[in-house]
Structures are given as structure tokens and as C-alpha cells.
Amino acid sequence: MVNLGQGAVGVVILLIVVAGLLFIFYSRSNAVEKTGYGALIMLAVVAAMIPVLWIMEGNNQVNATAAQKATAIQRGMQTYAQYCTDSCYAIVNDKVQNPTYNGYTFTYLGSLSDNDLQRIIDSGSYNPKATVQPASLTSVPRRDTYGGALLSNDVDYLMTFLRASSNDPNGLTQLPAYLQANYATQYAAAVSLGKNGQFGVPKDMTSKNAIEIDIVGPGQNGVTCASQTGCFSLPNITVKVGTKITWVNKATLAHTVNAIQGTNLSSPLASTDTTLINSGAGKPSGLLQTGQSYTWTVTDAAYNVNPTTHAVDYFCTIHPDMLAQLVITR
């Protein structure tokens, strides 16, 4: 990298030399002497221009390299967004959380040699120890020479993106906005994945035939709420089919308890499932006022609604950031 400080010092020194020669030039009356000193001044000016031009050219090269790398990172991010679609990352508050590629964390990928990293990208090698495994290995992105869709440039861009993002989140900060503009479904899935993580490990309550879940305000009864409007006292529990669950509104605000269709937690109001959990059924206002309760019995239909996880997410339609989950067993 160009040392601007040393170049500037060199220019200053040369300017001082030129100034001194100019002084000598004008103090001489002999034409021959003036001609000689004039030649020296010209040489000094040319010598002064050399480091300036050298510095400018060096800066141009540095800027061009930086711009080229930024472009490669951006295109790598776009390639990552297009092809890494199977729970590769979560989005929380428009920030990417726990990014992976082919089941490997970015930190691990950043520690690999270029050859090993390229091998994983080229062949579509998937981490056998990853928590989430792909539904089919044919869906894992790989290079066209291995029957995939990635071209040579795509591989190069991905390598630059993964290298940069393992140490510098610059590429990842652009990902949420890019997904919103170009891949809305993937953005919603990533937001849902981020929200699912807030439930924590489910509490096993399969030994109980009847369960009460309180709806409380923040800090009420010692319960910590992620939402400022309230929460469910048991945000994630495992229950068996046939269990009776009663939600009791002990908060000062009115609330509802409604199931979410599927696992899209980014827009629960657009995915309300009134055929499962629906506390508003039969109530004129459709709301659970303070002191009111709603009882629902876990059904086989609820067990089968999400056949992979057997989980039912539910929320308050008045306060959509109040979310909770039931994991159902038989």
C-alpha cells in the first residue's frame, strides 16, 4: 500500500530544493549561469512530479482493487441469496443471524484454505453434523461441472463473499434489503426462522392432562416478555394429543389466542388459522377480556398440521408480536 506520508515529505523537500534553485537563478546575472540553473530547476520540477504521479497511480490501483472486491462481495451476496435457500440464515430485526452455507458456519468456512472452501462450493459438500439437513441432497447448490447451477464466476463470487463475511459483515448487512426486494418468500422464511428461535427449548408437559397458560403483562408474576404488550407464561411446551389447555387472561389488556397456519411468523395476521386455536369463537367481541379464559383440546389435526415438526405456533391478533408454540406428541 502506498505510504502517503513519505510521498508528501518527498514532495515538500523537492519543492524546497526548487525554491532554493529559483532564488539562485534570479540572483545570477550571467546568462550562462542562468541557463545552467534553469536546467537544474526543470529537472527538479520533473523529479517532483514523479512521486506525485506515483502516489496518484498507486491510489488509483488501491481504489480500483477495493471497488473490485466490493463488487465481488455484492455479487457473491446475490448468488448466496439465490442459491442458499434451505434454513441458511435467520433474520432478526433486519439483521442476519447464524448464517451458514451447506450447513457450515461462516466462521468455519473462513478458517478453511482456498482449496477446501472451493471444494465445498464446487461439489455441494454438506455438513453431516449440521442441525438442519436438506430434504434432498439434489437441492444443495453445486457447480455446473457437478450437475449444479453454479457457474465459474458464481463460485469465485461466493468465495469472496464467504471470506469477507466471516470477518467483516459488510456483505451480510446488505442481504435483508436485497431479499425483501428480490426474494420476498425467502425473506419471510428467514424472519420466521429467527422468531422461532425465541421460543427456546420446549418444556415437557406430556405427563399432564390439563394445563393452564396465563396471559400476562411484561414483568407480571415475574414473567419476562419479549413484547412490550404482554406474553404467554409458557412460551413453548410439549403436550400430547388429548391434553386440555386453558389460556387465562390475567393481563390488564384484552388479548386473543389464535393459531398460525404453517410456520410463517413474519406476518402472522396474514396466516391466521381459525380452524385450530381460536379464542374469539362464540365471543361477541372476539376478545379475551381480563379474567376471561379459553379452553382447547389438542387434536390429531393439530399434530398433523406441520408434519415435519408437529408444532403449532399461535399468537395474539391484537398484538402480533406476542408469540408462543406448542410441540405436539401422541
Q: Band of the pLDDT at 295, cuts 50, 70, 90?
A: very high
143 DSSP 8-state letter: B
Range picked from 102-106, 190-194, 310-314 for highest mean pLDDT: 310-314
Domain hosting 17: range is 4-78
Residue 129 has pLDDT above 70, yes or no: yes
pLDDT per residue over 9-40, tens digit each? 556 655 666 666 555 555 555 665 556 656 66
| 277 shares a domain with 190 | no
Counting Cβ atoms within 10 Å, is residue 163 exposed (0-12), middle (13-18) or buried (19+)?
A: buried
| 164 shares a domain with 216 | no
Cell numbers for 132, please give them: 438442519
| 242 shares a domain with 290 | yes
| 318 shares a domain with 229 | yes
pLDDT per residue over 149-165, tens digit each? 999 999 999 999 998 87
| 229 shares a domain with 163 | no
Among candidates 250, 290, 295, 255, which has minimal Cα distance to 277? 295
Q: Mark which of 197, 224, 242 sits at the end of a domain.
A: 197
Q: Mark which of 45, 78, 111 sits at the end of a domain.
A: 78
pTM of the model: 0.55
| 114 shares a domain with 61 | no
The enclosing domain of 317 has a CATH number of: 2.60.40.420
| 187 shares a domain with 115 | yes
Which distant-in-sequence residues (6+ apart) come within 8 Å of 283 by Cβ? none
| 62 shares a domain with 47 | yes
| 208 shares a domain with 192 | no
| pLDDT confidence of residue 165 | 78
| pLDDT confidence of residue 219 | 86
Q: Mark which of 179, 197, 215 sits at the end of a domain.
A: 197
Residue 2 has pLDDT above 50, yes or no: no
CB count within 10 Å of CB 294 equals 22
| 306 shares a domain with 259 | yes
Domain count, the chain: 3
| 289 shares a domain with 221 | yes
| pLDDT confidence of residue 79 | 95
| 191 shares a domain with 136 | yes
Among candidates 43, 121, 45, 12, which has minimal Cα distance to 76? 121
Q: What is the overall mean pLDDT for the chain?
A: 83
> Phi/psi class of residue 147: alpha, beta or left (left: φ > 0; alpha: ψ in -120 to 50)?
left
| pLDDT confidence of residue 176 | 93
Residue whose C-alpha cell reads 396466516 in the numeric block: 271
Residue 290 has pLDDT above 90, yes or no: yes
Helix segments in the chain, DSSP class H = 4-27, 31-83, 106-111, 114-123, 152-167, 170-173, 175-182, 184-196, 300-304
Give CA–CA dist 237/314, Å, rounded. Answer: 12
